[in-house]
Chains A and B, each alone.
Chain A
């Protein structure tokens, strides 16, 4: 599995994952993912090149979303394959981490709240 990181807005980082988020894939990106997520306030995870996710991938997303939340940050997921989205919904991940269609929708969802930092 490959991981590509780029800034999307102020304090908003896009992490694009490419490959299967299975036990081997999660092991390959786990450390780098935590480092990159640790630098941002909002992490948008682009899953459009991730055709498969297992519970180990859910663990990766939830652990990092939890760490972000402790720092008043958040995570959004975009570009989910229909089967991947089914995995996320059937385990209730969609109730804990916002799922939006595209990275543009993620930015719209964040609105002015990121730069403003209100609250």
Chain B
């Protein structure tokens, strides 16, 4: 995907610790950034939610079998037309969440799967979710738009 500097402006970035306790700090940081940037509530909610889900995956599964030091970084970009892009970069095992299937809708509570809703939520709340593996890193790009409330 294109990330031409003319179109996208880096607003802020954050290093995230590879422990679950760091996730709430990261979403709080994102929420405060959104308040400063004047993001509409629905856009801010969608990004906080999507980043929470993406970080949960990376921190829970990304570093189980690696022996190098974990590096996780969030970059937030202002884009044209009120869009915001968040790039999540980590050096964990290669993992493309965009390839995960949607859970089948359950007919009853007895049959319902209690997990597997993270990527479904990201797809619903984002305009786009894209992945690439480059230089030993996962790069997940989450784009939310001002019409996120629709």
Report whether over half of chain A's contact residues are helix, strand or loop; otherwise say mixed. Answer: helix
Kindly identify which residue among B48, B112, B118 contacts A55, using a CB–CB cutoff of 8 Å.
B118
Q: Which of A20-38 contact B (CB under 8 A)?
A: 20, 22-24
Which residue among A20, A24, A54, A95 has the maximum number of chain B CB atoms within 10 Å of its CB?
A: A54
B109 touches A97 (CB 8 A): yes
Kindly identify which residue among A22, A52, A86, A96 contacts B109, using a CB–CB cutoff of 8 Å.
A96
- In the complex, the number of residue pairs spanning A and B with C-beta atoms less than 8 Å apart equals 71
- B52 contacts which chain A residues (CB < 8 A)? 22-23, 54
A79: shortest Cβ distance to chain B, in Å? Answer: 17
A23 touches B20 (CB 8 A): yes
A87: shortest Cβ distance to chain B, in Å? Answer: 6
A90 touches B112 (CB 8 A): no
Kindly identify which residue among B24, B42, B56 contacts A20, using a CB–CB cutoff of 8 Å.
B24
Please give the residue numbers on chain A whose beta carbons come within 8 Å of chain B beta carbons, in ascending order: 20, 22-24, 52, 54-56, 58-59, 62-63, 65-66, 69-70, 83, 86-87, 90-92, 95-97
- A59 contacts which chain B residues (CB < 8 A)? 114-115, 117
5 A–B pairs (Cβ distance < 8 Å), ordered by A:
A22-B52, A23-B56, A54-B56, A65-B109, A90-B124
